[in-house]
Chain A
């Protein structure tokens, strides 16, 4: 249970959930499509070196995490600071030690964590078939194809989540995002031809 004295602080932090939700979808989509693009590229090029593919994808996943975390942290910190200053000017008081001040310090970190960890999580999930294959797990088809299917499933899940937020039919919302991902695969295949 949240201590009574911290209630306002947590409710202010809770206000950041909408921003975090937006970042979750945006960067989750970013990470998933990046991995989907890489997996499709590896698949069409006929790569058999899983180690190389894993390292390349891992590099991209870490880059997405670092970029997602710091870009959100810096921009959110600037936004919160400005918001705090505006409120301070309206109230003519120093809010640094208030719940507002505390929340404006923690909120950017919370949002940045969501923004950074989401693409990393999806990327690791998509890379996992390659890892499993490297450690002896046999797939009925190419591990790259399994990774592509995993990526499409992740995109579908993000679509379903968006559908849930906007109260749309979940299947249609999920299929819509899958369609976008399929378009990406089609463009990559077109380049390969």
Chain B
């Protein structure tokens, strides 16, 4: 079964939660998740961020659900890394 190792998302989010809380909430979805967040653009009410999510087996739906719950929206999936081999 293929496993997703890395996803890069272009996300538009409100200023609250801030980058630390936003990335922490995503990282807390699974103990092996690593999140890197960089702010690309800041507007009056929103900011565009690039979220790089890495893990042994990323489950996409809960990630999107949490992003929506935090009031943000995914603009595009910029990069995906999927491993076709069996998970160890």
Contacts and interface: CB of A to CB of B under 8 A. Distances in A.
A87 B73 contact: no
On chain B, which size bracket covers the interface? 10 to 19
Given A8-B17, A90-B43, A95 B71 contact: yes
Contact of A91 (B12, B16, B21, B44): B12
A19 B34 CA distance: 37
Given A4-B25, A8-B21, A92 B73 contact: yes
B70 A98 contact: yes
Interface residues of A, number: 17
B17 A11 contact: yes
A93 B70 CA distance: 12
16 contacts: A7-B21, A8-B25, A8-B69, A11-B17, A11-B21, A87-B45, A90-B14, A90-B43, A91-B72, A92-B12, A92-B73, A93-B73, A95-B71, A97-B68, A98-B70, A98-B71
